[in-house]
Chain A
């Protein structure tokens, strides 16, 4: 019998070469966060009664909704901005509100004032998240933005796959499909977490969020002194910490039976959230500038430059392809299912269940099926008609397509494109 490889998170994180987000700090942060939530609970009567995610989502096991509820809610409430076209029935919605989209972006405060009830009313937020939402109201538009970017990136990355990250209009965002602890769920969680880190870091750097951290201490007493003495740390770290507090809190606020499926799922989500958050840090580029005597390199200062979110998405997609299957053991730890595989690091994705094939429409698992999806006749990959249509065959339709092509950006600020008309064979799955 082979020795069981346990995925001890502590162990993994310390062996990680980067060492950037140190475990102890993060735990401390987590505790602080939870303590704050608990403190607030003490003087808020509404907290003592267990709040459910929302009436619509309470029918699902809440662990599977960790991401979906809150992202969707924030999406609907804060942006009212267009979701990409795959959000099937929400089309009417966004066409109406899309016009106001920019207004909402520009003045998120308008939509957040008197937010006392707002955060608790948002379906999808766990009690802890609702508390954090209330505490950090100004962060919420960035959180929403980040989640939106994550979903959009997910849809871009999966545009040629059977499951194309399509969203539904209720607060579960992706429908019941994320109930399955599949690779896809792992990706969705991680990319959304990455989106929030990215967007919070950006907002901090723009000076939109006044409460962005300065040093390692959460709220140093004499911050001004500290700033004069040694300056402030980087904002990516703050984005990381905030996201960790906000996204992970829902996984940590329930006690599951050790070794149960629910607990396993919770651990899986935590792991994948972490992987997503780290991806932002990992893809950040270090740039340096010499500014010593006479501009010489005797003094070099370096800083971190955020990568474009597409780069982070590509990175996560690679992690999706190399995700490791795990299971929860009796001691309440995740362990690699097939002991031959390497222990996943904190940067890797893990999943519990095999993915469904997503071939047919199945409401209970949340699969939309691939009926009517376009496919590529010549490709041997996932976008090829054979795989995409699950062997059902495809229809071919000759159509002329008008496309924007050969675009040129003119400073400033319009894009000039030519219209290319071409006749193509469109293959759609039967």
Chain B
């Protein structure tokens, strides 16, 4: 019977393969740490307060070049009183990106996406009336764009919307300080297709809207975009891994096809995992360089979701197929309970994502967190996903526990066997455990890396002497790690052809040994490990 490569590979070859994969992993990590810049860049943009006396809402107010905006300096000083400024006269203009080094910079399509967060600075004056802790804010937002070569005052409308947000504020201790107010997520652009963007905000007073705002001194827009360099490194990783994984997948499936038997469940799962990884690897981002694809954020989330649900399902099946008890499982149906956990979790995350990023395709200013009902819906989906994940991990750890218990139980039977065979089986168990360990190691490394990243809080706490971009290294490292992991699985778990010539001899020998066993008559459908365990059980 044909075993998997992992069982027949000599230790030397195994070590060579593993060290090759580890070097791949190290290269990924270093590529992220030394070559790539930080994954994202941030710009804080201070609003220019423009005076609008035309009340023509279709007009865009721009900051540069001069002339697009009649500036207001102070909203609660004498100037505002003198000019009789009302809510209809004030337009907050943000022109992105801000110029540097004497150059009017523009966004590159390599930068992929743009997130805008609004921060309202409200000054606290002791003698003035205190602002409410929860202030409902209504924003009239208009986003315009312009490209290189367009006339400088010609802005085209990209999106417009009236949005409600709630700002939570707490007063500071001392006079003249700013209220501690929550940030307001304002927009998310899935495609950074144009060169310049212009955001015009108004805070109209309609009924009670915006009346709660205290003495606003400044508005800041914090825009976060992916760094072009990170996209380039990321895309080149994808471009390298995509053909690699596809190639290994084809090689794997051809070997499976060469066998006389039907593919086992584990093999099908491996193939599916490979396919999921390949969709994740597919470097679709190249298309964004020439086409506007605002759905890329959503698509990216979905691809990640599919990959992780595949990975979780695979672990279940992998552990379950090595359970070595006598219950026969028929295909995936045997795992319906556990798999439904994965399904429910992923589905609720998908719905959540669709609610947020799906709607953002139509209105980039939309946020599900902006209103109470939306927040509750979003939270409930996230909680469902969390519960499903928890249940899944309970299932998984239970199965893994049982696998290890069975293995150690079966090990007791090993000394009764002939020494050559015993060594062989011990090796199989060792390699199985080794792979389990690799999985755990991968998962642990991801978690530890993630936690380290959180603790380091971005770049602010790192010494400037260390030029390692930790966050980028974490991302490329984890990405490379799962690629390497699946490549290793595809290689090591593909059917081995080593024993084919001596198959008949081996079969005879085995028959001799297991003469009295009530084992199934189709040994080819079982991996040799399972066969071995069953054999030892009968011994």
Residues of B within 8 A of A19 (CB): 463-464
Closest B residue by C-beta to A298: B450
Could you say which of A102, A293, A299, A405 contacts B304, with CB atoms under 8 Å apart?
A293
Q: Is the CB of B105 within 8 A of A413?
A: no
Interface check B132, CB cutoff 8 A = no
Greatest chain A CB density within 10 A among B123, B176, B349 is at: B176
Interface check B506, CB cutoff 8 A = no
Interface check A1, CB cutoff 8 A = no
Residues of A within 8 A of B71 (CB): 105-106
- Beyond A22-B464, A299-B40, whether A229 also contacts B63 by CB under 8 A is no
Closest A residue by C-beta to B462: A19
Residues of B within 8 A of A405 (CB): 127
Question: Which residues between 22 and 38 of chain B lie within 8 Å of chain A, taking CB atoms?
Answer: 37-38
Question: Which residues between 190 and 215 of chain A lie within 8 Å of chain B, taking CB atoms?
Answer: 202, 204-207, 210-214
Question: Which residues between 266 and 311 of chain A lie within 8 Å of chain B, taking CB atoms?
Answer: 286-289, 291, 293-295, 297-305, 307-308, 310-311
Closest A residue by C-beta to B51: A106
Question: Which residues between 8 and 60 of chain A lie within 8 Å of chain B, taking CB atoms?
Answer: 19, 22
- Beyond A206-B48, A228-B110, A288-B457, whether A407 also contacts B352 by CB under 8 A is no
Question: Which residues between 171 and 199 of chain B lie within 8 Å of chain A, taking CB atoms?
Answer: 174-178, 183
Q: Is the CB of A413 within 8 A of B100?
A: no
Question: Per DSSP, are chain A's interface residues mostly helix, strand or loop, or mixed?
Answer: mixed
Q: Mark B38-52, 1 if CB is under 8 A from A, else 0.
A: 111111111110000
Residues of A within 8 A of B73 (CB): 102, 105-106
Give the complex CA separation of A216 and B369 in angstroms.
38
Q: Is the CB of B102 within 8 A of A303?
A: no
The count of chain A contact residues (Cβ–Cβ below 8 Å) is 61
**Distance between A386 CB and nearest chain B CB, rounded to angstroms:** 26
Closest A residue by C-beta to B130: A408
Stretch at the interface among B7-15, B220-228, B396-404: B220-228
**Distance between B95 CB and nearest chain A CB, rounded to angstroms:** 6
Greatest chain B CB density within 10 A among A207, A228, A307, A405 is at: A207
Stretch at the interface among A70-78, A217-225, A353-361, A363-371: A217-225
**Distance between A415 CB and nearest chain B CB, rounded to angstroms:** 6
Q: Is the CB of B103 within 8 A of A231?
A: no
Greatest chain A CB density within 10 A among B102, B125, B213, B353 is at: B102
- Beyond A213-B101, A293-B301, A308-B177, whether A407 also contacts B81 by CB under 8 A is no
Residues of B within 8 A of A220 (CB): 101
Q: Is the CB of B174 within 8 A of A314?
A: yes
Give the complex CA separation of A294 and B213 in angstroms.
31
Q: Mark B445-472, 1 if CB is under 8 A from A, else 0.
A: 0000010011001111001100000010
Residues of B within 8 A of A227 (CB): 97, 100, 105, 108
Could you say which of A102, A310, A409 contacts B129, with CB atoms under 8 Å apart?
A409
Give the complex CA separation of A294 and B308 in angstroms.
13
Closest B residue by C-beta to A415: B76
Interface check B374, CB cutoff 8 A = no
Interface check A380, CB cutoff 8 A = no
Closest B residue by C-beta to A98: B78
Q: Is the CB of A229 within 8 A of B227?
A: yes
Q: Is the CB of B352 within 8 A of A294?
A: yes
Q: Is the CB of B129 within 8 A of A406?
A: yes
Q: Is the CB of B177 within 8 A of A303?
A: no
Closest B residue by C-beta to A219: B101
**Distance between B90 CB and nearest chain A CB, rounded to angstroms:** 6
Give the complex CA separation of A307 and B178 in angstroms.
8
Closest A residue by C-beta to B123: A308
Give the complex CA separation of A106 and B66 in angstroms.
10
Residues of B within 8 A of A102 (CB): 73, 79, 82
Greatest chain B CB density within 10 A among A102, A297, A409 is at: A409
Question: Which residues between 100 and 116 of chain B lie within 8 Å of chain A, taking CB atoms?
Answer: 100-106, 108, 110-111, 115
Q: Mark B83-104, 1 if CB is under 8 A from A, else 0.
A: 0011101100001011111111
Give the complex CA separation of A167 and B73 in angstroms.
25
Residues of B within 8 A of A229 (CB): 37, 227-229, 232
Stretch at the interface among B154-162, B203-211, B530-538: B203-211
Could you say which of A224, A301, A305, A414 contacts B220, with CB atoms under 8 Å apart?
A305
Could you say which of A206, A210, A231, A407 contacts B227, with CB atoms under 8 Å apart?
A231
Range class of the B interface residue count: 35 or more
Give the complex CA separation of A19 and B64 in angstroms.
35
Interface check B128, CB cutoff 8 A = yes
Give the complex CA separation of A224 and B100 in angstroms.
9
Could you say which of B63, B85, B183, B215 contacts A287, with CB atoms under 8 Å apart?
B183
Give the complex CA separation of A223 and B97 in angstroms.
14
Q: Is the CB of A408 within 8 A of B229?
A: no
Residues of A within 8 A of B174 (CB): 310-311, 314
Residues of A within 8 A of B453 (CB): 300
- Beyond A411-B87, A413-B90, A415-B215, whether A223 also contacts B129 by CB under 8 A is no
Interface check B214, CB cutoff 8 A = yes
- Beyond A19-B463, A294-B349, A413-B80, whether A299 also contacts B227 by CB under 8 A is no
Interface check B117, CB cutoff 8 A = yes
Give the complex CA separation of A314 and B173 in angstroms.
12
Residues of A within 8 A of B39 (CB): 299
Q: Is the CB of A301 within 8 A of B42?
A: yes
Interface check B119, CB cutoff 8 A = yes
Could you say which of A206, A228, A308, A413 contacts B76, with CB atoms under 8 Å apart?
A413
Give the complex CA separation of A214 and B103 in angstroms.
10
Give the complex CA separation of A80 and B119 in angstroms.
32
- Beyond A230-B38, A409-B76, A415-B76, whether A223 also contacts B101 by CB under 8 A is yes
Interface check A339, CB cutoff 8 A = no
**Distance between B208 CB and nearest chain A CB, rounded to angstroms:** 11
Interface check A412, CB cutoff 8 A = yes
Interface check A232, CB cutoff 8 A = yes
Q: Is the CB of B75 within 8 A of A212?
A: no
Give the complex CA separation of A205 and B95 in angstroms.
10
Give the complex CA separation of A341 and B175 in angstroms.
32
Question: Which residues between 226 and 252 of chain A lie within 8 Å of chain B, taking CB atoms?
Answer: 227-232, 234-235
Q: Is the CB of A409 within 8 A of B224?
A: no
**Distance between A301 CB and nearest chain B CB, rounded to angstroms:** 5
Q: Mark A397-417, 1 if CB is under 8 A from B, else 0.
A: 000000001111111111100
- Beyond A228-B111, A229-B229, whether A305 also contacts B352 by CB under 8 A is no
Give the complex CA separation of A409 and B76 in angstroms.
8
Q: Is the CB of A205 within 8 A of B128?
A: no
Residues of B within 8 A of A310 (CB): 174-177
Closest A residue by C-beta to B453: A300
Interface check B356, CB cutoff 8 A = yes
Interface check B300, CB cutoff 8 A = yes
- Beyond A229-B229, A412-B86, whether A207 also contacts B177 by CB under 8 A is no
Residues of B within 8 A of A411 (CB): 87, 203, 205, 210-213, 216
Q: Is the CB of B228 within 8 A of A228?
A: yes
**Distance between B206 CB and nearest chain A CB, rounded to angstroms:** 12
Closest A residue by C-beta to B100: A214
13 chain-A/chain-B pairs, Cβ below 8 angstroms = A102-B73, A105-B73, A207-B46, A211-B101, A223-B105, A231-B227, A232-B100, A304-B460, A406-B129, A409-B76, A411-B213, A412-B87, A413-B90
12 more contacts with CB within 8 A, not counting A207-B46, A308-B123, A413-B80, are A102-B79, A105-B73, A230-B37, A231-B38, A294-B353, A300-B471, A302-B42, A305-B44, A314-B174, A409-B129, A412-B75, A412-B203
- A interface list, Cβ under 8 A from B: 19, 22, 102, 105-106, 109, 202, 204-207, 210-214, 219-220, 223-224, 227-232, 234-235, 286-289, 291, 293-295, 297-305, 307-308, 310-311, 314, 405-415
- B interface list, Cβ under 8 A from A: 37-48, 63-64, 66, 70-71, 73, 75-76, 79-82, 85-87, 89-90, 95, 97-106, 108, 110-111, 115, 117, 119, 121, 123, 125, 127-129, 174-178, 183, 203, 205, 210-217, 220, 222, 224-225, 227-229, 232, 300-301, 304-305, 349, 352-353, 356-357, 450, 453-454, 457-460, 463-464, 471, 475
